[in-house]
Amino acid sequence: MKQTAHIAILPGAAISHLIPFVELARRLVLHHDLHVTFLIPSSNDHPPSDAAKSLLESLPKPNTRTIFLPPVSFDDLPTATASTAKIALTVSRSLPSIHHVLKLMLDSNTTTPPLVAFFADSFAIDALDVAKGLGISSYVFFSVNAISLSMFFHLPKIDEIAASYDFLKDLPDPVQLPGCPPFHGGDLFSGVQDRRGVIYKKFLQFSKRLVSGEGISGIVVNSFVDIESEAIKALQEEKTGKLTIYPVGPIVQTGGQHDEEWECLTWLDKQPRGSVLYVSFGSGGTLSYDQMTELAFGLETSGQRFICVVRKPNTQPPNATCLSPLEPLGFLPNGFLERTKGRGLVVPDWAPQVRVLGHGSTGGFLSHCGWSSTLESFVNGVPLIAWPLFAEQKMNAVLLVESLEVALRPKADEDGLIQREEIAKVVKALMDDSNEEGRMVRDRMKDLKDSAVKALGEDGSSTRTLFELASTLKTMVAN
C-alpha cells in the first residue's frame, strides 16, 4: 500500500467552524493524497447534528474517517453560561479523549499512514499541549481572515492600551493593526469587548500563545492575498514568532446541498437574472422583534425582489405566543406575506445558501458578514449589504465597506435600530441598475470574483501555498 502522510483534525464544536475544516480536508485529500482523521467533540446537550454528520460523510473515501469523541457534560455549569464559553469548554473537557485517540493513532502507524501532524481550530487551542506532549507537530486553522488573526496577535498590546477601560468600545482612538484599516474599539471581535470577562481572558491567553509560537508549527488562514495583501504581508514580515502563515482561501462549502429540491431554487428559476436580494444572517444570527419588523417593512418598501431567511426573534412582543403555530413566520408584520407575494419569498430557518448565491437570479446579499458567507459571496461575485451582528463580523464589515468597497452598510439610529427607510434606501441602492454607488460596488465585486478564481487556479497564490503546506507535511513521513 502506498504510504501517505496522515493528519488529525480537531474542529470547534460549531458547524460554522466545521464546514471550512471539511473543505480544507477535501482539498488535501483530493489534490495532495493526504489521509485525514476528524476528531469531533460534543456535549450531552449539543450532540453532533445531522447536518454535521452529512457534511463529514461527504468527504472522499477511503482517505478520510471520523471519530466522534465521548460527549462531555455541562451539568455543573449555570444555565446562563454563554454558548461561546461552552464551545471552548467542549474541547477542554474532551482533552483526555483527545489524548487517548491521538496516542492510539501514533501506536498504529504500522498499519495506517503515519500520523505526522495535528490541526486544531482556534477554539481548540487547549489541545495543542496534548499534541506537543505526544511529539506531534501542530497547526492552527484560522477559519476567518487575516485582519482577525492580526487582532489576536496584537491583543496583548491592545490590552495594554486599554488598561484603564473595562470595555474596548470605550477606547477614544481607533485601533491601528499593521496592514489593516483602522478599527474603532467597538468593531473588534465581540468576544474581547469586556476586558473583565472570562471569555476575554481566554482569548488573551490564546493571543499570547500565538505570539510565543509555543507548540505551533504554522497557522493556516482562510483568506487570500488579493483581498488582504497588506495584512498578510504585515503578519509575515513580523515573523509572528517562528510561525509560518499559510493563506489558502477562499475555502467555501462545495458539498452537502445538492441532493434535494428546494422551493426557493424553483422560485429563483422564474426571476430575472441578477434581480433578487438574498437576506440571511447565518446559521446562528437572529434579530430582535422590532428589528425584524423594520427589516420586513424595509424590504417591502424597497420594491425589490427578495428571498429572506427568517428565524424567531431573540425578543418577543407581549402577544407573540399566540403566533406560535406559525413560528417563525408568525412574527412578521400582519399582511406582509400577502403584500409581497410573487415579489418576495420568505424561508423559515434555513436555505441552501451556496446554491442560492450561485444562482444567476441572485444579484445581492444582505448578510451578517460571517466570514464563510463573505467568501461565498466573493466566489459567486454577489455584492453585499453589510449587517454585522457578533464575533468578528463588525471587523469584516469594515474590510468589506471601507477597504474592498464591495458592500454598502445601513446606518443604525441612536438606539441601535436600523429603520425601514434606511433599509429600503440601501437595498434600492445595491439592486437598482441606475444607482451609481450600487453599480460601482457590483463592478468591484465582479473583479473580486476574478481574483478569487485566480487564487484557486493552477498557479494561483492559494494553490501554491496549499502545495507548500502539503509538501511540508509529506516530508515529515520520512523524518
154 is catalytic: no
Catalytic residue among 6, 17, 359, 368: 17
17 is catalytic: yes
Catalytic residue among 121, 126, 187, 226: 121
- CA 293/CA 327 separation, integer angstroms: 14
Annotated catalytic sites, by residue? 17, 121
